[in-house]
Chains A and B, each alone.
Chain A
Amino acid sequence: MFIAPFAVLFALVFIIPIGFAAYLSLFQDKLIGGQVFVGLSNYIQLFGDAKFWNGVIRVMVFTAIQVPVMLIVAMSLAMALDSKRLHGTKFMRISVFLPYAVPAIVSTLMWGFMMGTKYGLIGNLNEAVGTSIDPFRPDTTMISIGIMITWAFTGYNMLIFYSALKAVPHELYEAAAIDGATEFQVVKMIKLPALRGSLVVTIIFSIIGTFQMFNEPQILSSMVSNSGITTYYTPNLYAYNLAFTGSQQGYAAALALVMAAITIAIAYVVQIRGMKDALE
């Protein structure tokens, strides 16, 4: 069987752990008595956990701003690069994509140093002009993380859009030109509809990605002091700290499952909406 090796490993890596998480989420680690069956009490506790909701709201606000900005920029770039009206198209295309190949640890390090006031360019700027900008104050840290994440993933999304545009038959553009269509009309009537399918995919992947935000705040929290990054800054960070420093594995498993449910629900809504739009 061709599919057997994939299926067996898939079960080991995906299905069994999810079942195990569901099982674990019904237990609590107690100082006395070890693991105790507590039914749904982890979920009830989570529902009233201000730290959890604090993180959920933070990533939701972040997603609502960062994802549209990134995808609009990525789409505009893809159209610009596809228009053949740029000098150095090939160079620009690969340059915009390159950050995707950079590990989160390296990207956070670079941006952390560059935006830092101690050794970085912002520090140099503050010295030169006499300002006191600090990108890692508690109220601006999230914006700085947004700059890093946008940097890392715009090129990847651009490339998906760009590939979709490449699949548009060239005759369409010629026909449009003969009909006297303006550039704006070509974008609206041909290019945007061609991007619809890939837009649904990129929205879903971007939402999944930002909901799982972990690397950047985790790395920054040890790099920058007073950045306002708490142990429950994002739900992912909270789950990690619960499981590995607080050893509340049952509670962490419940949290992870609730986040998975929220993410899947949102991805599902996006997909249904995207399909409905495509049918109309």
Chain B
Amino acid sequence: MNTLKTPDAPRSERTSKRDRVADAAAAKPRQLYTVANPKKNATLTFVTGLFTVYCLLPLVWLLINATKSQADFISSFGLSFGSQFSLWQNIVDVFTFQDGIFSRWLLNTLLYVGVGATVSTALAALGGYALAKLRFTGKKVFLLIVLGSISVPGIALAIPQFLLFANLGLTNTPWAILIPSFINPFGLYLMWVFSAQAVPTGLLEAAKIDGAGEFRTFAQIALPMLTPAAITVLLFSFVSIWNNYFLPLIMLKDPNWYPLTIGIDQWNKMGSSAGNGILIQNLVLTASLLTIIPLIIAFLSLQRYWQSGLALGAVKG
């Protein structure tokens, strides 16, 4: 059951590995490498390292170029710093350009992500748990339809969603972004797999015999066991809503409701419409950097949780 790590497992694992190596070294000094701890391979490290460079290069490029003024961005070499360090000035400009609309976009994004990810995770947890542990009619049909919907391309939905929402008067309001984000079929699937494996049915029955209602059993017994899966679903909805471009592009016309992605796109278009726009590529790049930092922090700080959640999903996957 090494997939169900406690939060501090990676660290303790590392220490125990070190201990094991140390023990082995003390007992039999010549058998340092075991199946669990093989010899490091320089060639393999190099090849994988090359791919790592491909992955990190654009991010390093962004980091460097966000520190340049517009003049430096145009004139200096892509991977070197400009003649002056303008990161702070750029950040100030990003937040003050066009009467500080960037703050508005940031708040909109936080609203879409905060509400959308929380609600979609809660619905997925309730639904996944019910599918795995409760008996009701039409369960198979429901599951089949939901899983089938994962393969329906977004475009097949987006256009009719737009027309439907337009008829309901919801386009150009936050609801047009929020309502579609509440439903996460893949999250439901992950919660279903996870509930089936991690929540012992006997424990639920015991709680019910002790007089707990369905909801109380869920909230007090099952929910704590579902935490790694819930964090995984939460994080992945977080990313997909934060990065969403297509849906807000069609649903929103009013710049006051734009999320960051559409806002940055607008700024970029302003700069690249040849001749008749002002070049603000430095602001576009700094805004881009500010947009990805929260996501990277979320992934790095929560990785031990979401990785164990993914691992359990992968067993059945």
Chain B: CB-nearest residue to A97? B299
One digit per residue, 1 when the CB lies within 8 angstroms of any chain A CB and 0 when it does not, for chain B 299-317 equals 1100100010011011111
One digit per residue, 1 when the CB lies within 8 angstroms of any chain B CB and 0 when it does not, for chain A 214-249 equals 110001001101000000000110011001100001
Q: Give the residue of A21, A91, A212 whose beta carbon is less than 8 angstroms from that of B154.
A: A212
Q: How far is the CB of B251 from chain A (nearest CB, A)?
A: 11
Q: Which residues of A contact B218 (CB under 8 A)?
A: 2
How far, in whole Å, are A208 and B152 apart by their CA atoms in the complex?
8
Q: How far is the CB of B208 from chain A (nearest CB, A)?
A: 14
The answer to whether B303 and A94 touch across the interface, beta carbons within 8 angstroms, is yes
Q: Give the residue of B61, B161, B162, B288 whose beta carbon is less than 8 angstroms from that of A13.
A: B161
Segment touching A, from B22-30, B84-92, B120-128: B120-128
Q: Give the residue of A1, A101, A164 whose beta carbon is less than 8 angstroms from that of B317.
A: A164
Q: How far is the CB of A8 from chain B (nearest CB, A)?
A: 10
Q: Give the residue of B145, B243, B272 whose beta carbon is less than 8 angstroms from that of A222.
A: B272
Q: Which residues of B contact A174 (CB under 8 A)?
A: 35
Tell me if A47 counts as interface (CB < 8 A to partner B): no
Tell me if A201 counts as interface (CB < 8 A to partner B): yes
Cβ-Cβ contact count across A and B, 8 Å cutoff = 275
The answer to whether A95 and B56 touch across the interface, beta carbons within 8 angstroms, is yes
Chain B: CB-nearest residue to A256? B156
The answer to whether A166 and B38 touch across the interface, beta carbons within 8 angstroms, is no
Tell me if B95 counts as interface (CB < 8 A to partner A): no
Q: Which residues of B contact A259 (CB under 8 A)?
A: 153, 155-156
Given contacts A17-B164, A101-B295, contact A3 B239 (CB under 8 A): no
A interface residues (Cβ-Cβ under 8 A, vs B): 1-3, 5-7, 9-10, 12-18, 20-21, 24, 73, 77, 80-81, 83-88, 91-92, 94-107, 109-111, 113-114, 119-121, 124, 151, 154-155, 159-160, 163-164, 166-167, 170, 173-174, 177, 197-198, 201, 204, 208, 211-212, 214-215, 219, 222-223, 225, 235-236, 239-240, 243-244, 249, 252-253, 256-257, 259-260, 263-264, 267-268
